Amino acid sequence: MSLFNEPLLVTGGAGFIGSALIAELNRRGYDNIIVSDLLGADEKWKNLRALRYVHYIEADQLLDQLYSELDNVSCVFHLGACSATTETDCSYLIRNNYEFTRKLAEWCILGNRRFVYASSAATYGDGTAGMIDGTSKIQEYRPLNMYGYSKHMFDLYAHKRGYLNTIVGVKYFNVYGPNEQHKGAMRSVVHKAYEQIKETGRVKLFKSERSDYKDGCQMRDFFYVKDAVDATLHLAQSPGANGLYNLGSGTASTWLDLVSPIFAELGLDACIDFIDLPAELRGKYQYYTCADVTRLLESGWAGVKYPLDSAVRDYVKNYLKTTSYLGDENIQTQ
């Protein structure tokens, strides 16, 4: 029996995680979906072509239509944001990532709508205060960039207002997978590495500037988009699951662990060049992230279906190596 009352609204619906989420909703039989995004001049519109939905609204028009055309929406997945960690226009980030989210959340709360929004693991900063979801340590986190802080600002606001008792904030860790090709410099290392390896037979990774991490052994919690979507939908359909949740694999892996399956899937020996960390990332680079997914598992989520090696191989074999793959197919799940 469905736990959703339609229609559903997905912001950022042409983006990476948003389009993957709509594809999975379609697979589960949901078509009454309203999509919102800012298509601009890039290629992410291609992510919409295989999706089934009833209406599209440009994001800069969305707030004006909340109290008219969208009054019957029952659930909102707010995945739209400026996600560039190198963005330096603080006012732009405030408007897009804080103010927009605040207004949309308050509309949902007022109308008793389910609201699931993307926070970020970037809110945790360098990890010295831990990476614990919920709100027990929320005042201790110090994001390393303005993107992370803009997300943290809304988390703090929602906490102080008591909104986290009824809404869900998801802190995605390093998500990768199909439909990210439009993201340019913000694409995952899997996507970038695949292109480098196909072109040159080699891949470039950042050197470590810390003695406690060897080159290529900086660690991340890499999370396949298919698992990320499954966890997001689980929380949306769990009435008792509210507040902030880490969405990750719960395992920290090295960059070497990440690129090795790419070489293996291509039948090549690993050839890696280590390059200097760019100046703009020095002092802002995370050397270790790992999601504590205790609360997520306690909410009833079944856990990761795609461990790192099999996930990377699935991405390479069934998407990146497929000459017909243009980023606009429905993402196939098991």
Mean pLDDT of successive 10-residue segments in the chain (334 residues)? 77 97 96 95 91 96 91 96 83 93 97 96 90 95 93 97 98 95 88 96 95 96 97 96 97 97 96 93 83 96 97 96 57 48
Residue 183 falls in the annotated catalytic set: yes
Residue 316: domain span? 8-177+219-253+282-320
At residue 51, the pLDDT reads 97
In a domain, 244, yes or no: yes
In a domain, 211, yes or no: no
d(CA 260, CA 311): 12
CATH of the domain at 83: 3.40.50.720
In 3D space, the residue among 10, 4, 18, 9 whose CA is nearest the CA of residue 228 turns out to be 18
In a domain, 79, yes or no: yes
Question: Residue 109 CB: number of other CB atoms within 10 A?
Answer: 17
In a domain, 67, yes or no: yes
Number of domains in the chain: 1
In a domain, 334, yes or no: no
At residue 334, the pLDDT reads 39
**Catalytic one among 183, 192, 204, 284?**
183
**Cα dist from 179 to 169, 212, 247, 314, whole Å:** 22, 35, 19, 14
Provide the residue type at 216 as one letter. G
In a domain, 192, yes or no: no
At residue 323, the pLDDT reads 53
**Catalytic one among 141, 147, 194, 245?**
147
Residue 226 falls in the annotated catalytic set: no
In a domain, 242, yes or no: yes
In a domain, 159, yes or no: yes
Enter the tokens of residue 14.
């042409």
